[in-house]
Structure 1
Amino acid sequence: MENRPLKVLVIMGSPRRANTYHAAERIREILQENAPVDWEYVMLRDVSLEQCRGCYTCFERGEEHCPIKDDSALLEQKMHDADGVVFATPVYGFQVSGLMKVFIDRHAYIFHRPRFFRQKALLLTSAGVMGNKDVLEYLNAVARIWGFDVAARAGIVSHATMGPLPAYRV
């Protein structure tokens, strides 16, 4: 067995360094207690990813012919280079964040040509009150279809103790 740090890539779908980021940092700390870890964040807010145009070029001719010139290929290469990928997103409207959805859509060709058969995935969500279960199921489907071996899922509730919602009069 190689004596090198475990290379982990975190695809961070939160636009902030708040609850989801802090949960990912805690996972990093736990992993580093057992073995050396080379931990890299890709903050989706900081990369160039355009929305998919639905032109089907990636399906018909290959993703290398996509007319969109952004960081999509770079992100795919980073996933290939990692031993494990953490897909981390807050729950927005009972779904992944918009940043994470654009990331998934820009890599939709992988649903048709899976390629991550040696990598593990950890799925991480954070929600104010609810939605973790459904979003983790969605991410699980995405990761497994892409070829990842999903090693773990974690959903944290970050505002469960916020108290009752205020009453409004109409």
Structure 2
Amino acid sequence: MHKGSTYNITKLFLDKLSDKNPEITEFFMPKHTPGFCVGCFNCFTKGEDACPHADTVQPIVKEMEKADLLILESPCYVFGMSGQLKTFLDHMGYRWMPHRPHERMFSKIGLVISTAAGAGTRKVTKDLKNNLFYWGVPKTYCYGKHVGALNWETVKPEKKKQIESEVTKLAEKISREVCNVKPGIKTKVMFKIMKMNQKSNDWNATDKEYWIKKGWINGKNPW
């Protein structure tokens, strides 16, 4: 929740995207972090509302389902995302394609952002992008930056100028593609594999019933 380099770069993106007057909903960890996932499997076998932390998780999920652009961001902590964000993402396992992906995820764009004083942002952005992919998000852009400073105030002016230029270009590209993205071959292949798995699913009736209700097992696609 501290307003460091990652936060400030994210705000730069939001400012550059604001020419389209977007409605922006933000969540901050640990303020909105649910309790640790306890591995009860309720979200898989009984439904997401049976999660002991559903009251914290589901308001975030509902906002993500409505959004056209999803931004996940985290500073790099020992070559990984923050533990608070990971705790939230652990609760999203039921929304992965092997289980019960939401159909609107297949029409969204993702943006993942990370900063570090030194190395490690590539690992963070890769992990965040993987989460979005398995939710069904077909296209995700990554922005990782080694800022060479412990906080935003001490980032060199020339570095900030470079960051603003890069953010402007990427934000323009994202603006053109929001609401115009469709799943590519990788997403379609993964979905087809998961469809085959659900046809033979004999261990989780909740997941299989979800796929049947959506019509996906019988050939309908979510896009």
| TM-score interval for Structure 1 and Structure 2 normalised by the shorter chain | 0.7 to 0.9
After TM superposition, the runs of 4+ consecutive aligned structure 1 residues lying more than 4 A away are: none
TM-score by length of 1: 0.79
Distance 2:89 2:75 in 1: 15
Q: Which residue of 2 aligns with 1:32?
A: 18
Please list the CA deviations of residues 104-131 of structure 1 after superposition, one character each: whole Å capped at 9, or x if unmatched. 0011211222222222111111111111
Q: Does 1:88 align with 2:88?
A: no
Q: Which structure shows the bigger proportion of residues in helix conformation?
A: 2
CA displacement at 1:37 relative to structure 2 = 2.2
TM-score by length of 2: 0.61
CA displacement at 1:23 relative to structure 2 = 0.4
Q: Which has the larger radius of gyration?
A: 2
Counterpart residue type for residue 56 of structure 1: F
Counterpart residue type for residue 119 of structure 1: K
Identity %: 26
In structure 2, the CA distance between the partners of 1:77 and 1:125, relative to structure 1 (3 Å rule), is same
Q: Which residue of 2 aligns with 1:131?
A: 120
Counterpart residue type for residue 6 of structure 2: T
CA displacement at 1:48 relative to structure 2 = 4.8
Q: Does 1:17 align with 2:17?
A: no
Distance 1:151 1:25 in 2: 18
Q: Which residue of 1 aligns with 2:101?
A: 114
The alignment yields a C-alpha RMSD, in angstroms, of: 1.9
Q: Which residue of 2 aligns with 1:67?
A: 52
CA displacement at 1:142 relative to structure 2 = 0.6
Give ranges in structure 2 of 5+ residues lacking alignment: 155-223
Q: Which residue of 2 aligns with 1:11?
A: none
Please list the CA deviations of residues 135-164 of structure 1 after superposition, one character each: whole Å capped at 9, or x if unmatched. 1111111100001133411001122699xx
Counterpart residue type for residue 102 of structure 1: T
Distance 2:28 2:146 in 1: 21
Counterpart residue type for residue 22 of structure 1: N
Counterpart residue type for residue 23 of structure 1: I
Q: Does 1:145 align with 2:130?
A: no
CA contact (8 A) 1:50 1:70 kept: no
In structure 2, the CA distance between the partners of 1:47 and 1:160, relative to structure 1 (3 Å rule), is closer
Q: Which structure shows the bigger proportion of residues in strand conformation?
A: 1
Distance 2:52 2:132 in 1: 25
Counterpart residue type for residue 114 of structure 2: T
Give ranges in structure 1 of 5+ residues lacking alignment: 1-14, 163-170
Distance 1:48 1:135 in 2: 18
CA displacement at 1:76 relative to structure 2 = 0.3
Distance 1:42 1:107 in 2: 15
